[in-house]
Amino acid sequence: MKIKGLEKVSLIDYPGKIACTIFLFGCNFKCGFCHNPELVLKEEGRNFPEKEILEFLEKRKNQLNGVCITGGEPLLTLEKDFLKKIKNLGYSIKIDTNGTGPEKLKEFISGGLIDFVSMDIKSRKEDYPLVANSNVDMEKIEESIKIISEMENYEFRTTIVPGIHDEENIKEMCLWIEEVIGKKAKKFYLQGFKNQGKFINPEFNSTIDTEEDFLKKLKITADKHFLSGGIRI
């Protein structure tokens, strides 16, 4: 487990919590529009010692009440003992995941070590390998969707990238998720693509930001298949 970053306070990464965010190195997807290439392609910078993170959390117990662990794909390397130490300090824990590790996900949830999961849904089922730019075991993706949908607190989310996602894509994706679960999922968020000038695939440097009106249009389609949700600009 390589901790490459710590955002000391966030009001948006963990819904309903004042949290910090821990960034782990490594990912098994190579999405071209990923804006964290330094966490995926080539390891750079220092590793934060686990002790340093835990000491920080100990000091901030009166200011923070949540910890978000993201990446990369955190479930590739996230250690159970690390989660236990965070829980012992009294924090709620949220995990961001791409859904490729259902075994670990189930283990951590059943062990009471994860309180909230955000799962990125990359695209409709048939486009997954193309969008993730990787070989994808779709059975594992679907198993993760099922596991997460049984939680009390979770959300599915999709980053809407111009040129990749359109209304038909979103419609098919939402139908697929509903079919996998067998019912409407609780929450689904459409996130706008932001051109921050650094991506795994440099071709995305010329991609424009997702327009808010387009997200609102897609939300009308998504709302038919989820109990709640929204857009994030």
Can you give the residue range of the structural domain that contains 12?
3-232
Per-residue pLDDT, 20 = 98
Confidence of residue 42 (pLDDT cuts 50, 70, 90): confident
Give how many domains the chain has, as a whole number. 1
- Which pLDDT belongs to residue 44? 80
Buried b (16+ CB within 10 A) or exposed e, 135-169: ebeeebbbbbbebbbeeebbbbbbbbbbebbeeeb
Q: If you average pLDDT over residues 53-76, what whole number do you get?
A: 97
Element (H, E) at 158: strand 154-160
Q: Provide φ and ψ at 98, rounded to 5°.
A: -95, 0
Specify the pTM.
Answer: 0.95
pLDDT of residue 201: 94
What's 28's domain CATH number? Answer: 3.20.20.70
Q: What is the pLDDT of residue 159?
A: 97
The pLDDT assigned to 233 comes to 84
Q: What is the pLDDT of residue 152?
A: 96
Express each pLDDT in 4-37 by its tens digit.
Answer: 999 999 999 999 999 999 999 999 999 999 989 9
Band (43; pLDDT cuts 50, 70, 90) = confident
Q: How confident is the model at residue 210 (pLDDT cuts 50, 70, 90)?
A: very high
Per-position DSSP letters for 29-69, written without gaps between them: ---TT-S-GGGTTS--SPPPPHHHHHHHHHHTTTT--EEEE
Question: According to the model, what pLDDT value does residue 139 have?
Answer: 98
Q: What is the pLDDT of residue 144?
A: 98
When the pLDDT of each residue in the chain is averaged and rounded to a whole number, the result is 96
